[in-house]
Structure formats: C-alpha cells, structure tokens
Structure 1
Amino acid sequence: MNATSSRLNRALPLIAPGTELRDGLDRIVQGRTGALVTLGNNARLQALATGGFAIDVAFTGTALRELAKMDGAIILNDALDRILFAGVHLMPDASVETSETGTRHRTADRVASQTGVPTVTVSASMSTISLFVDGRRWVVQRPEQLLARANQALATLARYATRLNEATARLSAAEVHDAAAVRDIALVAQRLEMVRRLQQEVNGYAIELGTDGRLVRLQLRELVMGLDQLGTQLERDYADGAAPLRLAPLAALDSDDLAHPALIARACGLGDDLGLRVSARGHRQLAQIAQLSPEVAETLVVHFGDLQALFGASTSDLLGVDGVDYAIARAVREGLIRLAESAYAERLD
C-alpha cells in the first residue's frame, strides 16, 4: 500500500471495518447482490445523474442493503450519514479512459475520475468490494486477510528495526574512535529506508483495518519510536561535509538498488568512495543525553564544531558555553563517557 495517494488514504477509513458504511457493504456482499455507491455528492456528479429517487433519509447499513436490491447507483452525502438518491442512472463521459471491463466497474471508475467523488462497487459475481479514487481501483480485503499480512509485516519490521539498531551502534562506535566512513553511514541509511518502507506498508494495513487495526497501530508505534528523529539527526551530523547527507532521495531507489551500499551513498549525496572518512558533528549523540535541551545541544555543537572536540572538552571548557551550568556540564561529560564505554564494548564484540 506504499504507493497509495493521499485521497485514497483518506477514503479507505470511510469503508473500514467498524464503520456503518462497511457494515452495509458487507451485508450487500452476504446477500450476493451488486451495488454502486458514491461516497459524496457534488454538482459534477449531479450532472451525470438521471432518473432514480430522491429520498434523503438517514444512513443505515440495513437501508443500504435494501436499496442495493434495486438497479442503479446510490448517492450518499459528503458526511456519509444520509442517503440522498437511489436507483440513479449515472452516465459518465465515455471518453474517460478506464481499464475496467464490467459495466458497473467501468461506470464507477469513470464517475470517480470525472467528479472527484470516491465511488464503491460491490461485485455480485465475485463477492468483492472495490473503491475507485483518482482513476485507480482498490480491492478491499477481508479483515482476516489484512490482519495476517499486517502481522507478517510487523514481524519483518521488528527484525529490520533490530538490524537498524545494530548498524547505528556500529556507527556510534566508529564515530567515537573517529573512524566513521561513508560505508557506515550508507548501512544505517539503508536500514532506515527499509524500516520506513515497512512502516508505510503496515500503516496502510492499519488504515484499511479501521477499528480492527488498534493493536497493529500500537505495535507499529512502538517499533518505529524515535526513527524520525534518527534520520534528522544523521542529516544534521553530516550536513557540513563536502557531500552533505540527504536521506529523502532513497525513496526513489528500487529494492534491488537499495541492496548496494555504493548506490545508496551516491543517492544520499555522499559520493562514490565508501572508505572516505567522515566526522560527525555530535547532534545524534547529544540527543541521547536526557538532561540536555535541544537548544543547549545546538549551542554546544556550534561552539565545539564536531564530536571529537566535544569528547576533548573539559568541564571548564563546557562551562564557558552560553547556557551551560555545572549540572549540564556534568551531564554532558557523563553522557559522553557512557557513549565511549558503549563504543569500546561494541568494538570488542
């Protein structure tokens, strides 16, 4: 689901399990009848509508099921809490391109493209629900299918998150020893992008699951906590070199390219030399010190210039920085010492 449009992402929760609309659609599927339902109404849609009945009644799942027994489309209001018309004949422009073959699906695709109103069909022969948005058809899966895929994706995400933590720890160790290279950053960037893609996939399943996706969303939130900050901190740590780090271009790489560190380094703007030594400014390391505010951390980085200078700073050196008192200086010194000890242990492993 990582290629979905924002309009599709907004439309999917409207027909997710737990909603009154989904209850009505499921009733239609169980009754083995078809349906064409527009999730909203506007002037462009009205220009395509002929015949039918203006009923303007409160929406219920059972009412939708009964009205679907008639031929023609059902038009809902924008809030989806009223059924405005039933038995409507929709006549979209036949020149609007569509790859659909069935009459109901062709009409729904063209109506959604021509009016901008998300449109849902229920196939009587296939017992499937399809959502049409922006010239695209999205087949709605059953909750048990979505949960199985979401759980599989969560398990994969957990493994990649572990590998990302390992790669980040190795980068930290290299930074402490002033031995970090482009290869180390490329590995972290690779794992971060893989986690981002899996996060997007799981989030898509959670959107489709609606109320049934609560546990999926909780697990996802726990697995990716802090990763947005990690990407930002990496970019800030390596923003001042000859080739500033940029992670956004990795989204354009396909899965095969993402397996090659050289292609990752090039896409990130780090050049072609994987062995090139680089120096961190210290944003990521200082962010791990709980007692340190972002403003003071920024002041320290600007004052000392890079992580190695921070390691070499004495307490008196730190006290000479604006906004740093003895408690902050002590917290910085202790935090950097813990970092050095962790780096030493990482090297021993």
Structure 2
Amino acid sequence: MPISPELIPKIKMVAPGTVLRRALDDIIMAEFGALIVFLDDIREQENILQGGFYIGTGFSPEKLYELAKMDGAIILDENVNRILAANVQLAPDPTLPTNETGMRHRAAERMARQAQKFVLTISRRRKVITLYYKSHKHQLSEINALIARISHTIGTVERYKNNLDKKCLRIERDEFLDQVQLIQVTDLLNDCIGIMNLLEEIDPYVIETGGEGRLLVLRLDSVREDVDTLVQMLVKDYGLSSFSEDEIVQIIEKLKSIKPADHEKIAVLLGWPPTAETTLHDIAVRPRGYRLLKQMAKIPPGTVDNVVERFKDLVHLSMADEANLLEVEGIGEKRARSIIDGIQHMRNRLVYR
C-alpha cells in the first residue's frame, strides 16, 4: 500500500540513526508500551489533555525511556527538542472513527485526527511502532525484514534497468542507420516511466531504514540518475518541437501518470498528433542529438543547444566535418575533434557490433 507523502517527514523522524528512534528501540527492548504526542503548544489542546505533569526539559533518549515506565502519554515538541509533559491522559472525541482495538491505539488515532498532529504508539505485546498523522496510519516494519524486502525490489528494478539498457543500444544503432520509429521511442519512455514510478513507491520504505539503508540508497540513486537523464534526453531528442526546461519537467510529471503501455498518450505528450498505436510503427523520427552529445563529449548545455540548432538532427550532425563544427559558437578544435571521434566510435560500436 503506497505511503502518503504527508507521512514521509514523520517516518524520517523515527528512522534508525535518529535520537528518537534510539529511545523507541530501548523502550521496545525493555518491553514497555508508549504513547507519544508531538505538540508545540499544549494549551491549544488542553480540552483533550487531562492530568499528568508539566516537565519542560530538554529531550534525551534516556529521559524518554524513563518516562515511558508510566502509563500516560508523553508530550514532545514537534522538533523533538523538548519533553513538555508526561503521564497525560488523552480524551479525544470518542465519536471519531477508528479501526484500532487497544485503548492506547484508539486514543492515538483519534488524537491524530482531532488535533491534526503526529502521534505514535509502541505496542508492549507486539513490540511494534505505529505512526498516526492526521487521518494517515503507518506501521513500521522490523528493520532486517524491511531491508530484505527492499533489496529484493531493488533487484527487480535493476533487472528492468538492464532490459532498458539493451533497448537503448538497439535504438542507438537504428539512430545511426536513420531507421527509428516513433513506437520505439514511446516504448523506451514507457519502460522508463515504470521504473520511475516503482522507485517512487519504494522511496518511503528506504527512508524508513534510516542509517541502516545507506547501501540501498546508493543502489537506487544510481538507477534513478540514469533513468531520469534518459527520459530528459528522449523528450529533448524526440519531441515534435523543442521544449523549454520547464516544459520538459511538466511533460515528465504528466508521463508518470500515464497508464502502462499507453503509447498513444506518450506520443501526444511529445507533441505528436493523436493517432492509433499501429500508426506509430509507420512514423519515422530522427533524434536531435542531445543524448549522443551528452554521452560522448563534455560540452556545456548552452553549447550543446548551439550544436543542435546548427545541425537540426543526428543524421546531419554525424556527417559534419571539423570545419562545419568550428562554425558553431563554443566549439573549438578540441571539442570538434572530440565530437567527430565520438560519433565514429559509437557508429563502429553500434552498427558493426
């Protein structure tokens, strides 16, 4: 089940490696239960909070652990800098809906709904941390099991990425042969969208691993960077007309909402007229050369734009000689030679492989 974006900052607060999580783990190990409410101003909720005593002291994991020995709720400020009160009884509106069964969890969910604040509980029997924020609920997983599940999912993502790389090699070969069909472009973008959406779905769970998930983050970031770059370059290369950077960002966001394998809508977002999917096989397209230039030469973006504006597409760029390239603003002899050599290397690698 997808995690609400509103819960992400709250998950970060209790992720492994934080001082708050250290206290929560100690409470679980001691087999205590806990009910913790995050408020900056107790007076705003005084009609819900009953009894207890005001503390107003600086936060530390050790203090929170000791206070968890009492039955009532503990009140922390929302930045987890101070412990405001302890042994407080919560009296939220009993008519508010809740699917919880235990008294502590029912009070926590209703408190979160009524106050629109962050509340968490620790189950003494099940040793589980549950987060409530507004109408959202999320139960934290056991860290080792969570890492194992995420690793399995990342393995799936990496296999998808390997298949995507193979398709990229095929389309790069066809680009040099001037044989690219629009359906190949929409198919590549469709695969990219699937990977991007999958990465977004597992991001909150990776955040939940905190400092324990550093290697997972590195693996994900590697895939994310490659796929994000590929999508940007495909949009720039194959849009019917040139798009500004802001327009490209908007197009990518719209692409993420398209249903899988809806090639017609992908083509429309690239600026092509609405048409049947079968027709996409008959539409020949040429890349402008953005992706190739990014792969083979360290050229500033502004200079890349100048090169594309001068030669219009990859076919004409691949036929350019050094004299033609030197006419482009920002291209000197070294960059001209680098482009020519790079094109020849890629042509040999792709066409004659």
Per the shorter chain, which TM-score range? 0.7 to 0.9
Instruction: Quote how far apart the aligned CAs of 1:210 are.
Output: 1.0
1:238 aligned partner, one-letter code: Y
- Indicate the RMSD between aligned Cα atoms, in angstroms: 2.7
Deviations 1:11-45 (A, max 9, x none): 11211122222222223333333221023423544
Mapped partners of 1:26, 1:184: distance in 2:
51
**1:250–1:268 CA contact under 8 A, matched in 2:** no
1:305 aligned partner, one-letter code: K
Confirm or deny that 1:274 pairs with 2:280.
Answer: yes
Confirm or deny that 1:179 pairs with 2:179.
Answer: yes
TM-score (norm 1): 0.87
Structure 1: unaligned runs, 5 residues or longer: none
**1:161–1:224 CA contact under 8 A, matched in 2:** no
Change (3 A) 1:30 1:267: farther
Tell me the SS of whatever aligns to 1:225: helix
**2:237–2:287 CA contact under 8 A, matched in 1:** yes
Instruction: Quote how far apart the aligned CAs of 1:130 are.
Output: 0.3
Confirm or deny that 1:331 pairs with 2:338.
Answer: yes
Mapped partners of 2:255, 2:44: distance in 1:
40
Instruction: Quote how far apart the aligned CAs of 1:113 are.
Output: 3.0
Q: Which residue of 1 aligns with 2:260?
A: 258
Tell me the SS of whatever aligns to 1:71: coil
Mapped partners of 1:267, 1:91: distance in 2:
52
Confirm or deny that 1:34 pairs with 2:39.
Answer: no
Instruction: Quote how far apart the aligned CAs of 1:268 are.
Output: 6.3
Q: Which residue of 2 aligns with 1:10?
A: 9
Confirm or deny that 1:220 pairs with 2:220.
Answer: yes
Instruction: Quote how far apart the aligned CAs of 1:300 are.
Output: 1.0
1:200 aligned partner, one-letter code: E
The range that moved more, 218-227 or 301-310, is: 218-227
Pick aligned residue for 2:308 from 301, 311, 316? 301
Change (3 A) 1:100 1:234: same
Q: Which residue of 2 aligns with 1:232?
A: 232
Tell me the SS of whatever aligns to 1:258: coil
**1:249–1:268 CA contact under 8 A, matched in 2:** no
Tell me the SS of whatever aligns to 1:331: helix
Mapped partners of 1:93, 1:279: distance in 2:
64
Mapped partners of 1:260, 1:298: distance in 2:
30
Change (3 A) 1:97 1:266: farther
Mapped partners of 1:269, 1:291: distance in 2:
29
Confirm or deny that 1:318 pairs with 2:325.
Answer: yes
Instruction: Quote how far apart the aligned CAs of 1:160 are.
Output: 1.3
Change (3 A) 1:287 1:207: same
Confirm or deny that 1:147 pairs with 2:147.
Answer: yes
Pick aligned residue for 2:253 from 248, 251, 259? 248
Deviations 1:159-207 (A, max 9, x none): 1111111111112122222211122112211221222133234432321
Instruction: Quote how far apart the aligned CAs of 1:115 are.
Output: 2.9
Change (3 A) 1:96 1:283: farther
Mapped partners of 2:270, 2:4: distance in 1:
25
Mapped partners of 2:242, 2:68: distance in 1:
64
Mapped partners of 1:165, 1:155: distance in 2:
15
Confirm or deny that 1:70 pairs with 2:39.
Answer: no
TM-score (norm 2): 0.86
Change (3 A) 1:183 1:44: farther
Structure 2: unaligned runs, 5 residues or longer: none
How do 1:114-133 and structure 2 match up within 5 A? 114-133=114-133
Deviations 1:287-316 (A, max 9, x none): 112332211111111122122121222222
Mapped partners of 2:269, 2:235: distance in 1:
13
List structure 1 runs of 4+ shifted beyond 6 angstroms. 242-245, 266-269
Q: Which residue of 2 aligns with 1:205?
A: 205
1:32 aligned partner, one-letter code: E
What fraction of aligned residue pairs are identical, expressed as a percent?
32
Q: Which residue of 2 aligns with 1:194?
A: 194
2:337 aligned partner, one-letter code: R
Mapped partners of 2:94, 2:168: distance in 1:
55
Tell me the SS of whatever aligns to 1:41: coil
Instruction: Quote how far apart the aligned CAs of 1:208 are.
Output: 0.6
**1:193–1:251 CA contact under 8 A, matched in 2:** yes
Aligned residues: 342
Q: Which residue of 2 aligns with 1:289?
A: 296
Mapped partners of 2:308, 2:75: distance in 1:
59
Mapped partners of 2:143, 2:271: distance in 1:
42
